[in-house]
Amino acid sequence: DDEPVQGLTLNQAVEKMRGPENSKIKLKIMRKGQDKPIEIAITRARIQVRSVRSHLEGDDVGFIRVTQFNEQTTEGLKKAITDLSAQAGDKLKGFIIDLRNNPGGLLDQAISVSDAFLEKGEIVSTRGRNAEETQRFNARAGDLTKNKPVIVLINGGSASASEIVAGALQDHRRSTVIGTRSFGKGSVQTIIPLGSGNGALRLTTARYFTPSGRSIQAKGISPDIEVLQDVPEELKARTDTRGEASLRGHLKAEGDEQTGSQSYIPPDPKDDKALHTALDLIRGIQKNSAYPPNSKSAVPN
């Protein structure tokens, strides 16, 4: 609307573009190779970020990518499982849940996503300084995949809610986890309002623990099968995520800390070594002692 944005940060520019739903805004965009800006008129609308995408790999393996945990994630996952099961029919051999570079999101969605693959048992607990502050979240009966094999993909960019899901399915031996160690964001923050116009205080009040009692904080989830990607030479200096343990002022781990790991995902699925390892295991082409997971070593329910 003829307001200059030069010199503004991305967030400041986006804030200028916000407005009432169904109202209009004009944008002038300068593109490389053009002499003058082009003008585009758009109508503002409420944008719902689609957090779940899915497709069949071949005709026998369901692939579900979860990019974040928002209000629509669990419903998106349920729909993906239903649709893929219907498409593959009797040919369906299993599911791959891709949580790589998923920064996390809502705790309740992480719990309900984990619950979709479990029949019973603890999913996650939060523990503060006092024993009475401990909260435990448990699964309810009903595995939506009907006990089909599941493999979870993680990497150094998988954090928070992603780690809750990976840790729960790993501890219950419901899934084999493949990739590289996750980020290690396992702390709970509480927001305390300071009154009108005075902002709020954010305090770290608890830690997340997996069903077996492992703390995620500054440690992350270690995969059952580590798979490193082939990183292009020009990207090698910036494909590792530092991890929670490398952040200044982070909440210290209980015991030894673990730093970050590789977070690169090849743009072409043909080059994705973690994906191909998962597919080969589900299809029986490749053998590994970690797949299928040994249910006898699962955490007691």
For the stretch 109-140, pLDDT in tens is 999 999 999 999 999 999 998 888 899 999 99
pLDDT grade for 92, boundaries at 50, 70 and 90? very high
CB count in 10 Å sphere of residue 82: 11
Asked if the structure places residue 194 within a domain, the reply is: yes
- What pLDDT is recorded for position 7? 77
**Residue 171, SS3?**
helix
Region 42-54: mean pLDDT is: 89
Instruction: Classify residue 3: in a domain, yes or no.
Output: no
Once rounded to an integer, what is the mean pLDDT over residues 186-203?
85
Q: Whose CA is closest to 69, among 84, 45, 55, 49? A: 49
Determine which one of 54, 158, 162, 171 is catalytic. Answer: 171
State the catalytic residue, choosing from 112, 114, 158, 160: 160
Q: Among 48-57, 74-83, 132-141, 195-204, which is the least confidently predicted range?
A: 195-204
Same domain, 192 and 242: yes
pLDDT at 11 over 80: no
104 and 233 share one domain = yes
pLDDT of residue 37: 87
Q: What percent of the chain has pLDDT over 70?
A: 100
- Within this chain, do residues 85 and 141 fall inside the same structural domain, yes or no? yes
Domain count for the chain, please give it: 2
Question: Are 22 and 101 found together in one domain?
Answer: no
On whether both 142 and 215 belong to a single domain, the answer is yes
pLDDT at res. 35 = 87
- What is d(CA 224, CA 218) in angstroms, rounded to the nearest whole number? 18
- Position 114 scores a pLDDT of 99
Tokens encoding 257 = 């800390």
272 labelled catalytic = no
For 137, the domain range is: 52-297
- Within a domain: 4: no
Q: Do the strands 150-154 and 187-193 form a parallel or antiparallel pair, or are they unpaired?
A: unpaired
* Residue 146 in domain: yes
More confident call, 31 vs 64:
64
- Lookup: tokens for 284: 């029986």
Say if residue 275 is in the same domain as residue 128.
yes
Maximum alpha-carbon separation in the chain: 68
CATH number, domain containing residue 76: 3.90.226.10
Q: Is residue 249 in some structural domain? A: yes
Q: Are residues 31 and 111 in the same domain?
A: no
Single out the residue of 135, 143, 147 nearest to residue 108, CA to CA: 135
Q: What share of the chain is helix, strand, coil (3-state, %, to 5)?
A: 25, 25, 50
Report the pLDDT averaged over residues 97-105.
Answer: 97
Residue 77 has pLDDT above 90, yes or no: yes
pLDDT at 49: 80
| Domain co-membership, 203 together with 71 | yes
Q: Which of 185, 187, 215, 222 is catalytic?
A: 185
Average pLDDT over residues 2-9: 79
Q: What is the pLDDT of residue 246?
A: 85
The pLDDT value given to residue 260 = 79
> Are both 30 and 162 inside the same structural domain?
no
Percentage of the chain exceeding pLDDT 90: 70
CB atoms within 10 A of CB 128: 15
Length of the chain: 301
Question: Is 1 inside a domain boundary?
Answer: no
Give the global pTM.
Answer: 0.84
Residues 6+ apart with CB under 8 A from 42: 24, 25, 27
Q: Are 281 and 60 in contact (CB under 8 A)?
A: no
Tens digits of residue pLDDT in 156-185 = 999 999 999 999 999 999 999 999 999 999
Question: Would you call 160 a catalytic residue per the annotation?
Answer: yes
The verdict on 211 and 168 lying in the same domain is: yes
d(CA 76, CA 65): 10
Query: What is the pLDDT, as a whole number, of residue 288?
Result: 98
Averaged confidence pLDDT in the chain: 93
Do 19 and 128 lie in a common domain? no
Q: Are residues 26 and 106 in the same domain?
A: no
pLDDT one-digit tens code per residue, 208-251: 999 999 999 999 999 999 999 999 998 888 777 889 988 888 98
pLDDT of residue 142: 95
Compute the average pLDDT of residues 74-97: 98
215 is catalytic: no
Categorize the per-residue pLDDT at 25 as very low, low, confident or very high, splitting at 50, 70 and 90.
Answer: very high
* Cis peptide bond prior to 20, omega within 30° of 0: no
d(CA 124, CA 275): 27
- Residue 182: inside a domain, yes or no? yes
- With beta carbons less than 8 A apart as the criterion, state whether 292 and 226 touch: no
Cα 254 to Cα 108, 161, 192: the distances in Å are 25, 19, 26
Residue 63 in domain: yes
Strand partners, 105: 69
Residue 212's identity, in one-letter code, is: S
